[in-house]
């Protein structure tokens, strides 16, 4: 089964609960794990199937596998996980280099952000590689929208 990062079937409930925060995490592909997890940690994983991504901002767990009892934390992962970071730069879109700061700066200067349109156009052109660049292994657009909304609230843009 080969599914593209932006075409993962969201209707199927294949979530699993993170043991440290109790929230449901979505499955991650083997390719995502392989590109995101630091080598010595990766080598210790016996089976890359069945891993999930924890999206809780305050939770230190990034990937977990309840069947294998494996819990990987921020220090086991190469990239900065944007949703779990509070210090700049906070990455939002990993494929095209959008950070929370860049989006906020645009809103501050122009009252709007071009991030959603620009990223959307590149996804359409097939240029995104979320499955190996984004720690969640998924399309960033949902998070980009949230950051734009947050920026508009911050600078009181309607």
Summarize as ranges the residues that interact with Zn ion (CB under 5 A).
18, 20-21, 54, 56, 59, 61
Nearer residue to Zn ion within complex by CB, 8 or 54: 54
Q: How many CA atoms lie within 13 A of 8 on its CB side?
A: 18
Q: Which residue, 59 or 144, is less far from Zn ion as judged by CB?
A: 59
What minimum distance in Å lies between the beta carbon of 82 and Zn ion?
Answer: 15
Closest separation in Å from C-beta 18 to Zn ion: 3
Give the whole-angstrom CA distance, residue 25 versus residue 103: 26
User: Residue 56 Cβ, how far from Zn ion at the closest point, in Å?
Assistant: 5
**Smaller CB separation from Zn ion, 61 or 148:** 61
CA-CA distances (angstroms) from residue 125 to 6, 119, 122? 12, 10, 5
Minimum CB distance to Zn ion smaller for 6 or for 17:
17
Least distance from C-beta 59 to Zn ion, angstroms? 3
Question: Cα-flanking dihedrals φ and ψ of residue 125, to 5°?
Answer: -80, 0
Nearest-5° angle of CA 81, CA 82, CA 85? 90
From CA 134, how far away is CA 138, in angstroms rounded? Answer: 7
């Amino acid at each position: 089964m080969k599914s593209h990062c932006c075409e993962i079937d969201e209707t199927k409930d294949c979530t699993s609960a993170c043991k440290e925060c109790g929230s449901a995490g979505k499955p991650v592909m083997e390719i995502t794990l392989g590109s995101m997890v630091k080598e010595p940690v990766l080598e210790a994983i016996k089976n890359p199937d069945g891993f999930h991504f924890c999206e809780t901002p305050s939770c230190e767990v990034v990937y977990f596998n309840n069947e294998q009892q494996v819990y990987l934390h921020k220090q086991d992962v190469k990239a900065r996980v944007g949703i779990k970071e509070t210090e700049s730069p906070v990455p939002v879109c990993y494929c095209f280099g959008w950070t929370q700061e860049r989006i906020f700066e645009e809103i501050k200067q122009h009252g709007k952000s071009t991030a959603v349109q620009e990223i959307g156009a590149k996804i359409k052109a097939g240029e995104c590689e979320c499955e190996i660049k984004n720690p969640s292994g998924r399309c960033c657009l949902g998070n980009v929208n949230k950051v734009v909304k947050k920026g508009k609230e911050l600078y009181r843009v309607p």
